Amino acid sequence: MVVTTERDDATWYECEECGLLFDLEHDAEEHEQHCDSEGPSYIQ
């Protein structure tokens, strides 16, 4: 899921799965569709 977050007087779109930040909602949504991370601790 993509969530919005305010940072540095700007709105960012964050991938809730892995925490990546995007400045475009479209980019975040597109990333999320391909994101296969199951959480912040994805290192195995």
Write the CB contacts of 23 (distance below 8 Å, at least 6 apart in sequence). 10, 12, 13
CA-only gyration radius of the chain, Å: 11
Q: Counting contacts by CB under 5 A, is residue 15 touching Zn ion?
A: yes
For residue 37, the minimal CB distance to Zn ion (Å) is 5
Judged by CB under 5 A, the residue of 22, 27, 29, 35 near Zn ion is 35
CB-nearer residue toward Zn ion: 9 or 36: 36
Report the distance separating Cα 35 and Cα 37, nearest Å: 6
Q: Counting contacts by CB under 5 A, is residue 17 touching Zn ion?
A: yes
Q: Counting contacts by CB under 5 A, is residue 18 touching Zn ion?
A: yes
